[in-house]
Amino acid sequence: MKMMAPVELLDELVLEVLIRLPVKSILRFKSVSKAWRAIISDPSFIREHLEYSASKRKRNPSVLIAPHVLDSIIEGEDWPTTFSTQICFYQLLPGSATAEARLMHSQDFPGEFRSVCHIAHCDGLVLLPTNTYVYLFNPATRDTLRLPAETNPNKIPVPPDICLPAGLGLDPRTGRYKVVRAFYRSIDPVTDVFHMGMQVYTVGEADASWRDTAADPPYTVVEWITAKSVEGRIFWVIDTNYKPRPPRCLLRFNLEDETFGLTGLPASFPGLDDSFSLDVMHEKLCLIASSSSSTPGGTQPAALSIWILVQDDARMNSRWEQRYSIQTTHIGRLMVMGHLSDDVVMLYARRRLCRHRLHTTELTEMCNMDGLKYHRHRAGAVGPAGRNIFFFNVTPYMESLVRVTA
């Protein structure tokens, strides 16, 4: 049997050790030697480390928190235009003994935007749409990319503080990440119907820039809602405030061939006018719907159901399965954060992280975002997130070494 050379054995051992380390430690080890730097910078190592992080997240889910503070409050605004341009990302390990969120990355963008929208996460990368630029972060490596300077792709006048829909996902054919954003192309002078176009930006591509898709989407999607990405496709909620009304479906974008399609809603789902949101669960698209609304006083429980998309094709032959049902009051927007065990799912709603035990209908609060301790780098300071917090951007998260630039 051929014996492995000592140097090869050492390289393999180093590789196995490095893959299991957190990103912060790996980046420190880059300076140990040229050989270690080469290993850590190799795309195959970055992918192996990502796969290990994904398997680790299934055992120990992690949550990324971005508190958004208002510099001032203007009465009567539907959505504030006074957001602080200081963006901070904190990581929370819900299974840990202490309820502390650790600061991962903080950066200020003075004067660059006034409004922010909901973030999207894909393989350690975080997308933040604003009313001007779209930003891409890797909080673990502290890398930031402000996508090219075309701040307003709209072809017609739109309110300056609007956040247009955007999405982030992985092209499974090329292994590259793509950002997709919508813009308003035109308005029909007779019907007043807006027509949208879409642009794509390929992360890490040489001389990357925004480029229009070959065809426009068949329907306009809802503003202010960041898309969900799963299995090489991005999904948006279609805007129903137009005539003729669109079919009962979602807009789908294939990241591989950059074409649009439609995904039908569950057959027994009430309709497009009912309150629902999209999320990802078990690496599948899920739909979270409210079948009844709570009363203003909060005494009447709302019945929330979670549906999983199990089959989809080009002919809108979509098949959904209703997996979970939850009874609660004042639930607000519900988001899936991951699994704590085989029968316990972690959810986020109304600034609260909750656990839901499957085969029951109740939610149990784990922690409140306002009550968490936020650990900052400076002198080990620990305290609340701050004053004038309008909302918390919260997403399931895993560390990675994925680059935001070439």
- How high is the pLDDT of residue 343? 78
User: Beta-carbon neighbour count of residue 111 at 10 Å?
Assistant: 8
Structure tokens at 122: 């894909």
**Taking residues 178-196, what's their average pLDDT?**
89
Tell me what the pLDDT averaged over the chain comes to: 85
Residues paired with 253 in a beta bridge: 234, 260
pLDDT of 295 strictly over 50: no
**304 and 362 in contact (C-beta within 8 Å)?**
no
pLDDT of 273 strictly over 90: no
Who has greater pLDDT, 46 or 305? 46
User: Which residues are CB-neighbours of 205 under 8 A, at least 6 positions away?
Assistant: 176, 406
- How high is the pLDDT of residue 133? 93
pLDDT of 34 strictly over 70: yes
Percent of the chain exceeding pLDDT 90 equals 47
- Examine residue 14 and state whether it is found in any structural domain, yes or no: no
Determine the Cα–Cα distance for residues 54 and 48; give it in Å rounded to an integer.
Answer: 10
- Examine residue 25 and state whether it is found in any structural domain, yes or no: no
Confidence of residue 149 (pLDDT cuts 50, 70, 90): low
Sheet of strand 125-129: strand arrangement: 120-122, 125-129, 134-138, 143-146
- Examine residue 6 and state whether it is found in any structural domain, yes or no: no
Nearest to 334 by CA among 275, 390, 375, 385: 275
Structure tokens at 347: 């959810």
Structure tokens at 13: 């051992």
- How high is the pLDDT of residue 340? 75
**355 and 347 in contact (C-beta within 8 Å)?**
yes
- Examine residue 222 and state whether it is found in any structural domain, yes or no: yes
- How high is the pLDDT of residue 95? 67
- Examine residue 26 and state whether it is found in any structural domain, yes or no: no
Q: Are strands 259-264 and 228-230 parallel, antiparallel or unpaired?
A: unpaired
pLDDT of 354 strictly over 50: yes
Nearest to 225 by CA among 236, 240, 241, 216: 236
**Which CATH number covers residue 272?**
2.120.10.80
- Angle, CA 108 vertex, CA 205 and CA 122 arms, to 5°: 40
Structurally, the chain folds into a number of domains equal to 1
- How high is the pLDDT of residue 48? 93
- How high is the pLDDT of residue 180? 97
Who has greater pLDDT, 328 or 395? 395
**Window from 97-101, 153-157, 254-258, 389-393 with minimum mean pLDDT:** 97-101
Confidence of residue 377 (pLDDT cuts 50, 70, 90): low
**Taking residues 189-205, what's their average pLDDT?**
89
pTM of the model: 0.90
Determine the Cα–Cα distance for residues 304 and 335; give it in Å rounded to an integer.
Answer: 12
- How high is the pLDDT of residue 5? 46
Determine the Cα–Cα distance for residues 345 and 279; give it in Å rounded to an integer.
Answer: 13
Confidence of residue 143 (pLDDT cuts 50, 70, 90): very high
pLDDT of 326 strictly over 70: yes
- How high is the pLDDT of residue 71? 92
Determine the Cα–Cα distance for residues 94 and 62; give it in Å rounded to an integer.
Answer: 7
Confidence of residue 382 (pLDDT cuts 50, 70, 90): low
pLDDT of 332 strictly over 80: no
**Window from 46-60, 104-118, 237-251 with minimum mean pLDDT:** 237-251
**134 and 147 in contact (C-beta within 8 Å)?**
yes
Structure tokens at 358: 């499957």
- How high is the pLDDT of residue 194? 85
pLDDT of 4 strictly over 50: no
Among 218-227, 319-328, 377-386, the range with the most confident prediction by mean pLDDT is 218-227
**310 and 339 in contact (C-beta within 8 Å)?**
no
pLDDT of 7 strictly over 60: no
Over the stretch 153-168, which tens digit does the pLDDT of each residue have? 888 888 888 888 999 9
- Examine residue 9 and state whether it is found in any structural domain, yes or no: no
Who has greater pLDDT, 264 or 375? 264
Over the stretch 301-315, which tens digit does the pLDDT of each residue have? 567 788 999 988 877
pLDDT of 129 strictly over 80: yes
User: Which residues are CB-neighbours of 376 under 8 A, at least 6 positions away?
Assistant: 103, 382, 383
Q: Which residue has the tokens 């957190």?
A: 22
Supply the range of the domain harboring residue 67. Answer: 42-397
**Taking residues 339-356, what's their average pLDDT?**
83
Residues paired with 374 in a beta bridge: 101, 383
**Do you find a cis peptide bond into 157, omega within 30 degrees of 0?**
no
- How high is the pLDDT of residue 297? 47
pLDDT of 256 strictly over 70: yes
- Examine residue 329 and state whether it is found in any structural domain, yes or no: yes
**Window from 3-12, 43-52, 372-381 with minimum mean pLDDT:** 3-12
